Amino acid sequence: MTAGTGVGDVPDERGAIGRATRPRIEDLSSATAETSDFRLGYRPALDGIRAIAVGLIMFGHLFWFSKWIGRNAKGTFLGVDIFFVMSGFLLACLLIEERDANGRFSFRGFYERRALRLLPSLFAMLAALIVYSAVTHEKFHTTVHSALWVVLYVANFAMIRDPQGFVQHLRAMWSLAVEEQYYLLFFPALVLLLKVARSRRVVLAVLICGIGLVACWRAWLTFATDPNLAAIYVRTDTRADALLVGPLAAFVVYGGFRPGRRFRVVAVFSALFAAAMLVFAADGDVWVYRYALTPLELSLIVVIVSIVTSEGRVAWLLARRPIVWAGRISYELYIWHYPIYLIVASRVGPGIGPAALAVAASFGCAAACHHLIARPFLASKRRRALAVRGTVGAP
């Protein structure tokens, strides 16, 4: 969260794809050979989508300052789903375009670029929180222990195993763990699938089956006598469908699909459905996990594909400079805002004034972290990621 996550990373801030270095997956076969001339490139509207996603998450977490927000900010947790869906889509775009350019995909280059994007900002936030905990004598050992789980990208399972032993300030880091576990497990499996599949249709069929299996598994878990919705919410095996719908859409787009008027109508209804979920859904509603999450994720990817394949008014609006700027620092906003919210709420108290202070402090810390800490590493990342036949927007 990235979502987030989410929230997350990939190639570079402007989206260059790195040339393959060892180890490599050779000859990604004919599974993506039926590609079109579509190239994603750097699309400012994607940063606009990130800004919306992190804005929804930050607004929803303001419940620490207002019970009214806690009652009425339903569905803002779905901002994490936007990060998941878009991340899966853009990673698949990177895979396809690097395969087209080099005939292979470099895991080493991918993970190097990812580390350069994610770890400097994450280490800075964790260091600041640990120093704060040491100075204030507030759960220092628990904070250090929790930070270790965050760095190892297993925060989601650590929260499930020992909820009381995981410091509250880092609970939003579960989505980073889900994404990284996806990149370490599901993403290599996708590359292997591309190597052995005989056609793009086989890849699409496997992805559809995977999405369906995750949706059925999550629904089945909710029929338990006392379902643990908090665990279902943060588990990788129950949220993987959000990361799989992106590759599904990417292979459709690169297979020659061109959205026409009918698709745009579908995109409008998909946006309306997502808006309805934003108003009526909450992370404590069983029906969301049982019936609505996968349709929501499919709706989100339809909207995202519609935006990136058109130059309409929505894409123009999302590409406005202030929105793009917020999207550029969305990763830093995600990792910094939650601990800042809790610190301000505990030190200042509830109310509109403290809430405004927390939001301002979040933007200040995120911007400083991005420009002073992350940017030098992003420059190194760009030097490593030499563009090959166009660029891919980083999720």
Tell me: the pLDDT tens digits for 275-284?
999 888 887 8
Q: For residue 349, what are its two tokens?
A: 């108290």
Backbone Cα Rg of the chain = 20
Per the structure block, which two tokens stand in for 395? Answer: 């999720």
Q: How many helices (H) and strands (E) does the chain have?
A: 19, 2
Q: Per-residue pLDDT tens, the chain, 395 aa: give them.
A: 544 444 444 434 334 333 333 334 334 444 554 546 677 778 899 999 999 999 999 998 988 888 777 666 666 778 999 999 999 999 888 888 887 777 777 888 888 888 988 999 999 999 999 999 999 988 999 999 999 999 999 999 999 999 889 999 999 999 999 999 998 888 888 888 888 887 888 999 999 999 999 999 999 999 987 889 999 999 999 999 999 999 999 988 888 777 788 898 999 999 999 999 988 888 788 999 999 999 999 999 999 999 888 878 888 899 999 999 999 999 999 999 999 999 999 999 889 999 999 999 999 999 999 999 998 887 765 555 544 444 444 43
Give the model confidence (pLDDT) of 70-126 as tens digits: 666 666 778 999 999 999 999 888 888 887 777 777 888 888 888 988 999 999 999
Joined together, the tokens standing for residue 43 give 């699309």
Measure the CA–CA gap between 209 and 199, rounded to whole angstroms.
16
Residue 132: the pLDDT is 96
- What is the predicted pLDDT for the residue at 36? 61
Could you tell me the pTM of the whole model? 0.86
Q: Could you report how far apart the first and last alpha carbons of the chain are, in Å?
A: 10
Nearest to 389, CA basis, from 102, 21, 112, 34: 102
> Quick one: DSSP state of residue 172?
G
pLDDT at 24: 41
Give me the pLDDT at residue 278, please: 87
* CA distances from residue 9 to 116, 117, 179, 194, 352 in whole angstroms, order as listed: 9, 6, 10, 23, 32
3-state helix, strand, coil in the chain (%, to 5): 75, 5, 20
- Return the pLDDT at 380: 63
Res 75: pLDDT? 67
